[in-house]
Chain A
Amino acid sequence: MAPADLALAATALACLALRLAGVWLAGGLSTEHPAIAWATAVAQATLAAFVTLAIVAPAGALAEVPLAARLAGLGLGVAVCLGFGRRMLPALLAGLAAMLLVRALLA
């Protein structure tokens, strides 16, 4: 088996196992159960940590976008999201446009 196929198969199986384990662990619990509230908090905190690291200290191709451009995109996107009734698409486009604009200005 080629390394790429082996890595893909192992990662896919492990990710499936994580999802199945979560569903099995939570079976029978209600949304008010403290374990559910804790798991939700951990999921949201992990996502927030991922976003923070991806914006402040990204790996790969994203690292070539200047920090100021990444921060401008994040800032305007979130501001539009909060200011215009949580509408995702305008917020996404505004954030992307701000990132592109600042990147172009700094180039």
Chain B
Amino acid sequence: MPSAFLPGLREALGAPGVAMAATFLAFGAAVQEAGLSPGWALLACWGIYGMPGQLVLVQAAATGWAGGVGAAVMGAVAVNARFLPMAVSITPVLGANSRWRLLPAVPFIAVTPWAAAMRALPAVARPERVSWFLGFGLTSWVVAGLAALSGYHLAGAMGAEARAALLFVNPLYYALLLAADLDRPAPRRAVLCGAAAASLALLLPAATALLAAGLVGGTLAFLLGRRRGAG
């Protein structure tokens, strides 16, 4: 049976690659502007691999860590806390018999590979799924790293308007990933409840609000789905 690594790789070079390259270009430019090194930009891409958290750190660095390193780290982790439920939800889909076989896939669990895998993997043979995910994840990593380095070195040529436009691609792409699932009832409920729960940001600080909105919105969507299923 041919390995699914190459199909995963090819999938990552389409729209996910374009969206990722745009956002990581802007990230690289922001790192340069904050006075950090290109090595830091690359390690942040590969070590954190979650754009909202990366941006929290760069913004903190740009202010000279005025709020303290601890607060910046907590903010970055809170805004990337979705990695936990994403890892839970993708694990059975990856179809490995033991947790150890999943270890190489762990660093790639992030929005873009997760969304792509949840769509594509049900059609991939179970023994091939980890290979597919590794093909997608590794390719995305390389694209992200190269884009961040390019952004770092092109920062001087990029105006504030161009940078803002590139940063807009990140939430836009996430929105499209969610929109593509709107015809299925369970994701539709989760998206609508999550968007409504975002209004918690009026009451809570930004990082906490995101965590709370995800938990409240997701739990509400889950309970509504159970009621519908039972009725």
Known: A19-B87, A46-B194, A49-B210. 20 other contacts (CB 8 A): A6-B69, A12-B47, A16-B107, A19-B109, A22-B85, A22-B109, A29-B92, A38-B218, A39-B89, A41-B186, A42-B82, A42-B85, A48-B193, A49-B195, A52-B194, A59-B206, A64-B164, A73-B168, A92-B172, A96-B169
A61 touching B167 in the complex, CB below 8 Å, given contacts A4-B36, A45-B218: yes
Q: Are B81 and A46 in contact (CB under 8 A)?
A: yes
Nearest CB in chain B: distance from A5 CB, A = 7
Pair A81/B102 contact, Cβ less than 8 Å? no
Which of B52, B163, B218 is A50 in contact with, Cβ under 8 Å? B52
Interface of A is mostly: helix
Taken together as a complex, chains A and B put the C-alpha atoms of A18 and B79 apart, in Å, by 12
Look across to chain B and name the residue whose beta carbon is closest to the beta carbon of A1: B69
A: contact size bracket: 35 or more
Taking CB atoms, residues of chain A closer than 8 Å to B193 are: 41, 45, 48
Residues of the A chain whose Cβ atoms lie less than 8 Å from the Cβ of B1: none
Instruction: State the interface size on chain B (CB cutoff 8 A).
Output: 99
The answer, yes or no, to whether A36 is at the interface (CB within 8 Å) is yes
Q: Across the two chains, which residue of chain B brings its CB closest to A26? A: B91
Chain B: which residue is nearest A40 at the CB level? B89
Asked if A65 lies at the interface with its beta carbon under 8 angstroms from chain B, I say yes
Give every chain B residue within 8 A of A92 (Cβ-Cβ): 15, 18-19, 169, 172-173, 176
In the complex, A58→B84 CA distance in Å? Answer: 24
B135 in the interface, Cβ–Cβ < 8 Å? no
Contact with A along B17-45 (1 / 0, CB 8 A): 01100000010001000001000100110
For the complex, give the distance between the alpha carbons of A60 and B60 in Å.
11
CB neighbours of A62 from chain B (8 A): 164, 167-168, 171
A residues in contact (CB < 8 Å) with B: 3-12, 14-16, 18-27, 29-31, 33-62, 64-65, 70, 73-74, 77-78, 81-82, 86-89, 91-92, 95-96, 99-100, 103
Pairs across A and B, CB under 8 Å, 24 listed = A4-B40, A8-B57, A16-B47, A44-B181, A44-B190, A45-B193, A45-B197, A45-B214, A45-B215, A46-B214, A46-B218, A47-B111, A48-B190, A48-B194, A50-B174, A52-B194, A53-B209, A61-B167, A78-B179, A81-B179, A86-B180, A88-B173, A92-B18, A96-B169
